[in-house]
A and B are shown apart, each in its own frame.
Chain A
Amino acid sequence: MTPKPTGVVLLFALAAFLVGCGSSSHVVKEGDHEANARMESMRDFQPDISVHTIVMPHDEPVFPPGPGRDEFVTACVVCHSPRYITLQPRFSRTTWMDEVHKMKDVYGAHITDDQVLKITDYLVSINGTADAAHARKHARYGE
Chain B
Amino acid sequence: MNRRGFLQLIGATGAAALTSSCNRFTSVAGTISSPANLARFPDKTEMILLTDRAPQLETPLHYFRQDLTPNEAFFVRWHLEGVPTSVDLRTFRLAVSGHVRQPLQLSVGDLRSQFEPISIIAVNQCSGNSRSFFEPRVPGGQWKHGAVGNAKWTGVPLKSILNRANVRSGAVDVSFNGLDAPPLPSVADFVKSLSIDHARDGEVMVAYAMNDQLLPMLNGFPLRLVVPGWYGTYWVKALSDITVLPHVFSNFWTDKAYRIPNGPNGTESPQHLANDTVPINRFNVRSIFVRPELDEALHPGISTEMEGIAFDSGYGIRRVEVSTDGGATWADARLDPDMGKYSWRRWRAAWTPRSRGAYRLMARATNAVGDTQSEHQWNRSGFMWNVIQQLDVKVA
Interface residues of A (CB under 8 A from B): 1, 3-4, 6-7, 10-11, 14-15, 18-24, 26-31, 36, 39-40, 42-46, 48-60, 62, 78-81, 83-84, 86-91, 95, 99, 106-110, 126-127, 134, 136-138, 140-143
Count of chain B residues near A, Cβ 8 A: 92
Chain B residues near A29 (CB-CB < 8 A): 46
Chain B interface mostly helix, strand, loop or mixed?
Answer: loop
If A1-B5, A53-B85, A59-B27 touch, whether A43 touches B15 (CB-CB below 8 Å) is: yes
* Contact between B52 and A83, CB atoms less than 8 A apart: yes
* Contact between B33 and A127, CB atoms less than 8 A apart: yes
* Contact between B23 and A50, CB atoms less than 8 A apart: no
Known: A43-B15, A141-B257. 12 other contacts (CB 8 A): A19-B16, A30-B60, A39-B15, A49-B12, A49-B13, A52-B89, A54-B20, A57-B40, A57-B42, A86-B30, A87-B142, A142-B381
* Contact between B14 and A136, CB atoms less than 8 A apart: no
Q: A55 vs B32: C-alpha distance in the bound complex, in angstroms? A: 27
Q: A17 vs B9: C-alpha distance in the bound complex, in angstroms? A: 14
Nearest CB of chain A from residue B391's CB, rounded to whole Å: 20
Among A6, A26, A42, A141, contact of B256 (Cβ-Cβ < 8 Å): A141
Can you list 13 A-B contacts with CB-CB less than 8 angstroms, sorted by A residue number?
A: A11-B13, A18-B17, A23-B16, A23-B18, A26-B17, A28-B72, A52-B217, A52-B222, A57-B21, A57-B52, A83-B53, A88-B33, A110-B184
Chain A residues near B8 (CB-CB < 8 A): 1
If A53-B85, A78-B184, A89-B33 touch, whether A59 touches B25 (CB-CB below 8 Å) is: yes
Nearest opposing residue in chain B for A4, CB measure? B1
Nearest CB of chain A from residue B69's CB, rounded to whole Å: 11
* Contact between A3 and B142, CB atoms less than 8 A apart: no
B118 within 8 A of A: no
Nearest CB of chain B from residue A131's CB, rounded to whole Å: 12
* Contact between A52 and B9, CB atoms less than 8 A apart: no
Mark each residue of chain B from 181 to 199: 1 if its CB lies under 8 Å from any CB of chain A, else 0.
0111011100000000000
Q: A58 vs B27: C-alpha distance in the bound complex, in angstroms? A: 11
